[in-house]
Chains A and B, each alone.
Chain A
Amino acid sequence: MCLQNRLRESRLEKSLTQESLATAVGVTRQTIIAVEKLKFVPSVKLALELAEALGKPVGEIFWLDRTGAGGKS
């Protein structure tokens, strides 16, 4: 069971750079990169902050992939 996300797509829809999104939620750009590449699983708090910054429900950006294909559990 893996946590998947469409953070990159949601960020690009809002025309935000990784740097500006990172600044908005108080993390480094490397953390945004790691989350987008499924190399780092964000905390619930960070996931909620990212969703709020992108103006979407958290469930539209993060979801569980129960097939376990790809990503990181």
Chain B
Amino acid sequence: MRGMKWYYVSRALFAAALGAVLVLGGSAWWIGAAAGTLALAWFLAAPHVGRYTVHPDHGATALRRDERGAAINSSAARNGFVVSMLAIAGIIIYVGAFAMDGVPAPVLQWLLALGVVTYYASDFWLRRMHS
């Protein structure tokens, strides 16, 4: 796609940086390579999948959400936040009721993951509903 040079260059650098961060953080080299490759594959596909409007004149920020995409993203983010907060509240009440020492750290990781999963599931569902 003409005029998209800076988009592709910036995303290639981002994918390489993602892989490097994972390797420097202690992951195996192949995990870093796989994550970087997957990220790069998504960035290469993104202008063609129909989720974004493409503005080559905007350089590295050539992809933009239109108003439907922004509305879906906003609803999905709200759903993820609400589910995370309700889960955290539930865990705190549960821990308080059973007089435990505190919320174990791994539980908080799972709550965060729950919020992320809710966000992507909502995004997927809303796109199907609104098309």
* Chain A residues within 8 Å of B, Cβ to Cβ: 26-31, 33-34, 37, 39-40, 42-43, 46
Contact of B131 among A26, A33, A42, A43 (CB under 8 A): A33
Taking residues whose C-beta sits less than 8 angstroms from the other chain, chain B's interface range is 10 to 19
B131 near A34 with CB under 8 A, answer yes
In the complex, how many angstroms separate the beta carbon of A33 from the nearest chain B beta carbon? 6
Query: With A30-B127, A34-B68, A43-B67 given, can you name 18 additional A-B contacts, CB distance below 8 Å?
Result: A26-B66, A27-B53, A27-B67, A28-B50, A28-B51, A28-B52, A28-B53, A28-B68, A29-B50, A30-B51, A31-B66, A31-B67, A33-B131, A34-B131, A37-B131, A39-B129, A39-B130, A42-B67
Residues of B within 8 A of A26 (CB): 53, 66
- 19 A-B contact pairs sorted by A residue (CB < 8 Å): A26-B66, A27-B53, A27-B67, A27-B68, A28-B50, A28-B69, A29-B50, A30-B51, A30-B68, A30-B127, A34-B68, A34-B131, A39-B130, A39-B131, A40-B71, A40-B130, A42-B67, A43-B67, A46-B67
